[in-house]
């Protein structure tokens, strides 16, 4: 069983008042910073460094037939590379194999989902591109070329495609979220909490409860509008908004195929537990 099937099969449906599965013809709002830059694992011995992470934003738009996102503008290290050095840290690290050159690695970094890659290391003999948020732990390696990649904001994508609209709010701004929710038929809010070996959660709150409450209140007067919450969590969470939303999905710690797996669940390709 592959990672996508495991993640979708492990997702638990806590509530559904008829909002799910989504029809591919409904207009949606995709809300929350976790939609573009998701938490998919814990810390300590639960921490992994995946080669990629499929985000809900990318996967849902791809499922609906939207074109790929436009490339981010970036400085590509201003052509000044740190030759012979590896930024050997694991700070928000991901990796892609089979990358042809240091320039291509830089562009991969610039366009990593969520815009969280600031530095990269390219290993010439293996064609591995390591992308990370910092340049900590600079270590000599004659196969490595490293650099900085400070990208600009992603160009705005099309909200609608083939008659279906997907309004993306990749932040936790309540005003932007409610504006998108009022345009959509279904709002999908992505939340997450995590824990680590030696560092337990300070509370059972998943965080951003106010965001869910604001969206739910904004659409409460229109019974045709639905709110779905997807919450990544290593265990129990408090759900003070549960009575005010239409559906709640818990994918626990879903791994690198999170976006594709949760899309399969949202659109009824896979039935949750």
Q: Determine the average pLDDT of the residues in 210-223.
A: 96
pTM: 0.80
Give me the DSSP letters along 88-128: ---TT-EEESS---HHHHHHHHHTSTTS---EEEEETTTTE
Residue 109 CB-density burial (10 A; 0-12 exposed, 13-18 middle, 19+ buried): buried
Mean pLDDT of all residues in the chain? 91
Residue with tokens 């638990």: 12
pLDDT, tens digit, for every residue of 45-78? 767 767 678 899 999 999 999 988 777 777 887 8
CA distance 101 to 178: 43
State yes or no: cis peptide before 138, omega within 30 of 0. Answer: no
The greatest distance separating any two alpha carbons of the chain, rounded to the nearest whole angstrom, comes to 63
Q: How many CB atoms lie within 10 A of CB 153?
A: 8
Could you tell me which residues are beta bridge partners of residue 139?
86
Q: What is the pLDDT of residue 198?
A: 76
pLDDT digits (tens, 9 = 90+) for 61-70: 999 999 887 7
pLDDT at 86: 96
Q: Where are the domains of the chain?
A: 3-67+157-266, 76-148
> Hey, what are 237's tokens?
């969470």
**Domain 76-148 superfamily per CATH:** Hepatocyte Growth Factor (3.50.4.10)
What's the rounded Cα separation, in Å, for the pair 188 and 61?
A: 13
Which residues, other chains included, contact 208 with Cβ-Cβ below 8 Å and sequence gap of 6+? 32, 172, 189, 191
More confident residue, 158 or 171: 171
**Domain at 3-67+157-266, CATH from 3.30.70.260, 3.30.750.24, 3.40.50.300, 3.40.50.1700:** 3.40.50.1700
Each residue of 217-271: pLDDT tens digit? 999 999 999 999 999 999 999 999 999 999 999 999 999 999 999 999 999 999 9
pLDDT of residue 193: 92
């Amino acid at each position: 069983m592959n990672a996508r099937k495991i993640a979708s099969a492990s997702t638990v449906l806590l509530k559904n008042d008829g909002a799910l599965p989504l029809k591919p013809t409904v207009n949606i709002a995709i809300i929350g910073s976790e939609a573009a830059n998701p938490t998919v694992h814990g810390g300590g011995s639960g921490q992994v460094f995946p080669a990629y992470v499929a985000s809900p934003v990318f996967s849902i738009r791809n499922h609906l037939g939207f074109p790929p996102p436009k490339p981010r503008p970036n400085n590509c290290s201003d052509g000044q590379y740190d030759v012979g050095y590896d930024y050997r840290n694991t700070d928000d690290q991901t990796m892609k194999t089979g990358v042809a050159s240091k320039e291509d690695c830089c562009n991969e970094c610039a366009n990593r989902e969520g815009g969280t890659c600031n530095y990269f290391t390219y290993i010439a003999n293996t064609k591995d591109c390591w992308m990370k948020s910092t340049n900590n732990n600079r270590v000599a390696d004659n196969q490595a070329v490293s650099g900085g990649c400070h990208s600009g904001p992603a160009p705005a994508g099309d909200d609608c495609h083939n008659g279906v609209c997907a309004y993306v709010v990749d932040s936790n701004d309540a005003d932007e979220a409610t504006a998108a929710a009022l345009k959509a038929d279904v709002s999908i809010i992505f939340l997450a909490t995590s824990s680590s070996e030696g560092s337990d959660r300070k509370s059972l709150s998943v965080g951003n409860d106010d965001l869910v409450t604001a969206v739910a209140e904004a659409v409460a007067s229109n019974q045709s509008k639905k709110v779905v919450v997807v919450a990544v969590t290593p265990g129990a969470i408090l759900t003070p908004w549960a009575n005010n939303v239409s559906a709640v999905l818990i994918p626990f710690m879903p791994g690198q195929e999170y976006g594709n797996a949760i899309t399969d669940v949202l659109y009824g390709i896979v039935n949750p537990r």
